[in-house]
Homo-oligomer: A and B are copies of this chain.
Amino acid sequence: MSARASLANGLACPAPLARHDRVQLGHGSGGRMSAALLRDHFLPRFRDAALARLGDAAVVAGAAELAISTDTFVVHPLEFPGGNIGSLAVHGTTNDLAMMGAEPRYLSCGFVLEEGLELDLLDRILDAMADAAAALDVAIVTGDTKVVERGKADGVFINTTGVGTLHADFRPAPDRARPGDAVLVSGPIGRHGIAVMARREGLAFDAEIESDSAALWPLVRRLRDALPADAVHVLRDPTRGGVASALNEIAEASGVGITLADQELPIPEPVAAACAMLGLDPLYVANEGVLLAFVAAEHADEALETMRAHPLGAHARRIGTVGDEHPGMVVLRTGMGGSRVVDMLPGEQLPRIC
């Protein structure tokens, strides 16, 4: 943490600091209140040796090639069914590494705290971060906290930056989709965006929809280990902008056309109902624990079986095919024999879902 802990020693004998229930501006000072915030809230949860040394930077073992990814999380509300901004900040960034085929190893975290934030809420967020990182065996190695005045942020924003190590032969990339590839999805879509939206707007549906927020690396590692090195061409987690935006990006980057089968899309009934009520298209709703995989056709069944053997991929299915017609475009074929172009949205469907 660059707000470093310099714990008061006996000689200096400073007056004890007042106990606080909420974040104060002084917690961002770099002085003794900053040190107390670190000591009482961050360090007990993030126990990595590199972090505990509190230098200006963490020193860690490297590798010949690295993947680096960054994401800032501004989700509102901070807690939602299935997670909170802390678990999301670990899942989101490590998933981005996993989509490059990289094993997530290290995370940094940068916090912007709004004056007045409840420290109990901060603790729940930090607990969720620590749990998510521990489950993945990822080390939170360095961090930073800033405090801004009330009304100059919105509770807490968290940046996580991840460093991962790469396997020599396993290099999925958005420009590697090829005609003939099968397009697979690891699970039901649309849950994260709807879960956050419902909590934010105080909407009640017949069934509570939980975010799918989860770490995808264990699923990716299985695909890497089970299939021939070159079978998996593209991996992508369809977050902001949903499945539609992710597929458009891949179609564009690879110069291919993608055709989806409407009736194969795994849209949970409660998500479909909520989308119908809210006027949203589930293809554009964010996911945080689902991946799209473009796999060479001859390995598609093997990839599906591999995914289905893991809880995160239990409901994996094939949703489409890559072709060389309509390059750069995504087309949805309906059960009635019709088809429509699935374009990128120009602007915002659901703001602040990640």
A interface vs B, CB < 8 Å? 2-4, 6-7, 9, 11-12, 14-15, 17, 24-26, 28-35, 53-74, 76, 95-97, 99-100, 102, 106, 108-112, 141-144, 146-149, 151-154, 157, 159, 161-166, 173-175, 236-237, 239-241, 245, 248-249, 252-253, 326-329, 341, 343-349, 351-352
- Distance, CA A143 to CA B69, complexed state (A): 7
The chain B residue sitting closest to A8, CB to CB, is B344
B62–A57 touching, CB < 8 Å: no
A64–B61 touching, CB < 8 Å: yes
B69–A58 touching, CB < 8 Å: yes
Q: Which of B25, B35, B249, B349 contacts A6 (CB 8 A)?
A: B249
The chain B residue sitting closest to A35, CB to CB, is B344
A58 touching B62 in the complex, CB below 8 Å, given contacts A6-B252, A30-B240: no
B351–A11 touching, CB < 8 Å: no
A32–B345 touching, CB < 8 Å: yes
A233 to chain B, nearest CB (A): 13
A40 to chain B, nearest CB (A): 15
- Distance, CA A71 to CA B58, complexed state (A): 13
A56 to chain B, nearest CB (A): 4
The chain B residue sitting closest to A96, CB to CB, is B56
Q: Which of B30, B55, B326 contacts A241 (CB 8 A)?
A: B30
B111–A141 touching, CB < 8 Å: no
A156 to chain B, nearest CB (A): 11
- Distance, CA A112 to CA B326, complexed state (A): 36
- Distance, CA A327 to CA B9, complexed state (A): 9
Apart from A9-B329, A110-B110, A151-B151, what 13 extra A-B contacts exist at CB < 8 Å?
A: A6-B245, A17-B346, A31-B241, A31-B345, A56-B97, A59-B65, A59-B100, A59-B166, A60-B68, A62-B165, A72-B111, A112-B157, A163-B163
